[in-house]
Amino acid sequence: MCRQTAGRVRAGAFGRAAAGLCALAASLAVLGSSGAGAATFVLPIPVAPVTLPDPGVVVTPGHGVPDPFVFEVAGVYFMFASQENFFGANIPVMVSTSLTSWAPSDIDALPTLPSWAAPGFTWSPDVREIDGHYVMWFNAALASAPFDGTKCIGVATATSVIGPYVSSSPSPLVCQVAHLGSIDPRTFLDPQGHLWLVWKSDDNADTTGTTHTTIFSQELAPNGLSLIGSPIALMTANLPWEGRIVEAPDMVFAAGKYWLFYSGNWFNQPMYAIGVAQCAGPAGPCEPSTLGPWFGSNAEGSGPGEASLFFDGSRWWMFYAPFAVNHEQSTPRPAAMARVTFGPAGPAVVAPNTAAWAAVAPDTAGWAAVPDPPPAPASPRHAPAGSSRPPA
């Protein structure tokens, strides 16, 4: 039986592989409705893994930039990152006018943590402009928990893109204590203009446990500061390459389909890699498009992950860590950048330093069924959330 409905967990290594193969072989399934409206969900076509020996370009050489996230304002690009070390900036920011050359700065976008948060574990920032101000989602450790204990998701606002972001909430936005916490928030604006939060459960915080992590989604209020409804499980780690972990999710809508990019396995191991799943909508269900990693170890390094997608108005880019953490050598993980295209065969990566690398993305709408009303060919990943739908 294929993994289909959100929240259902596949079991057993053989069964997990069979379930994924079943999903890839199936042609059509009607899976009900999502927050984006009822849809007939075409189960994923097999997406070819990335095999380029050098699929990206390192854009912050010598600088550790965990969980890179890029946001643009008036032609200037801002790269937000996780806290690199315990005493460093909570949310460090780098600045660029080219996407490929980034200048370090002393900016801490979140200099003061909310009362519920403890210092040292502020990760995975995500930023949007909503109704003339900026909103940031992040995760931090609970002040009430033991050191390096439960981590939960918070939200803060600012009048400037670089902050200071301020959160006056006495409690986190999302905190799944039963799952040992909630981390890696990302937001997604669907074609109907609804804003969503996606994240992972932190079940693997018990490093010797057996529980597998799950990626969740939930609709956000229009201002992004509160949630609507209940969390929805999109997919749970159960393919062999994922180990017991799926994390760092990022959902985009491109070429008429919903794609969920995510990382699998342990972030400090060479098996770490990037996967891609196809979803019926922001409320799922989601099915992996490959049985193995989509973007795995290559000549850049072993264990790439923590990807986020950015649309510059004409092209999609993926920012990611090109290799796994090596705590013993204390090697900083820079941010790398790859060009992603979307077509009938799904997402693909273009070789750097080629004409296709800089080419404007072609119009690939129309080859797949899309919800009503028809969306734009490629909705910007970081579009403003104050309008009724993403701009083209």
In a domain, 381, yes or no: no
In a domain, 293, yes or no: yes
In a domain, 247, yes or no: yes
Q: What pLDDT shows up at residue 3?
A: 34
State the Cα–Cα distance between residues 24 and 48, nearest whole angstrom.
12
In a domain, 25, yes or no: yes
CA angle, 91 then 92 then 98, to 5°: 130
State the Cα–Cα distance between residues 315 and 380, nearest whole angstrom.
9
Q: Produce one character per residue of 154-173: b if its CB has 16 or more CB atoms within 10 Å, e if not.
A: bbbbbeebbbebebeeeebb
193 dihedral zone (left: phi>0; alpha: psi -120 to 50; beta): left
State the Cα–Cα distance between residues 246 and 363, nearest whole angstrom.
31
Residue 390 preceded by cis peptide, ω within 30: no
Q: Give the total number of structural domains in the chain.
A: 1
In a domain, 209, yes or no: yes
Q: Taking a C-beta distance cutoff of 8 angstroms, is the pair 263, 277 a contact?
A: no
Range of the domain at 354: 13-358
Q: Which of 31, 21, 15, 12 is nearest to 234 (CA)?
A: 31
In a domain, 366, yes or no: no
Encoding tokens for residue 140?
Answer: 């931090």
In a domain, 383, yes or no: no
Q: Taking a C-beta distance cutoff of 8 angstroms, is the pair 204, 213 a contact?
A: yes
Tens-digit pLDDT profile for the chain (392 aa)? 333 223 322 333 323 333 343 433 333 333 333 444 434 555 678 899 999 999 999 999 989 999 999 999 999 999 999 998 888 999 999 999 999 999 889 999 999 999 999 999 999 999 999 999 999 999 999 999 988 889 999 999 999 999 999 998 999 999 999 999 999 999 999 999 999 999 999 999 999 999 999 999 999 999 999 999 999 999 999 999 999 999 999 999 999 999 999 999 999 999 999 999 999 999 999 999 999 999 999 999 999 999 999 999 999 999 999 988 775 556 688 999 999 999 999 999 999 999 999 888 764 433 333 333 333 333 334 444 433 333 33
State the Cα–Cα distance between residues 324 and 269, nearest whole angstrom.
6
State the Cα–Cα distance between residues 392 and 377, nearest whole angstrom.
7
Q: How far is CA 298 from CA 131, 259, 309, 323, in A?
A: 42, 23, 20, 9
CA angle, 141 then 144 then 148, to 5°: 40
54 dihedral zone (left: phi>0; alpha: psi -120 to 50; beta): beta
Q: Taking a C-beta distance cutoff of 8 angstroms, is the pair 291, 21 a contact?
A: yes
| H or E element in which residue 200 lies | strand 195-201
In a domain, 386, yes or no: no
Q: What pLDDT shows up at residue 104?
A: 87
Here the CATH number for the domain that contains residue 240 is 2.115.10.20
Q: What pLDDT shows up at residue 40?
A: 52
pTM of the predicted model as reported, rounded to 2 decimal places: 0.84
State the Cα–Cα distance between residues 372 and 74, nearest whole angstrom.
31
State the Cα–Cα distance between residues 207 and 30, nearest whole angstrom.
37
Q: Which residues, in sequence order, are CB contacts of 274 under 8 Å at separation 6+?
A: 261, 262, 263, 264, 293, 294, 295, 296, 304, 305, 307, 320
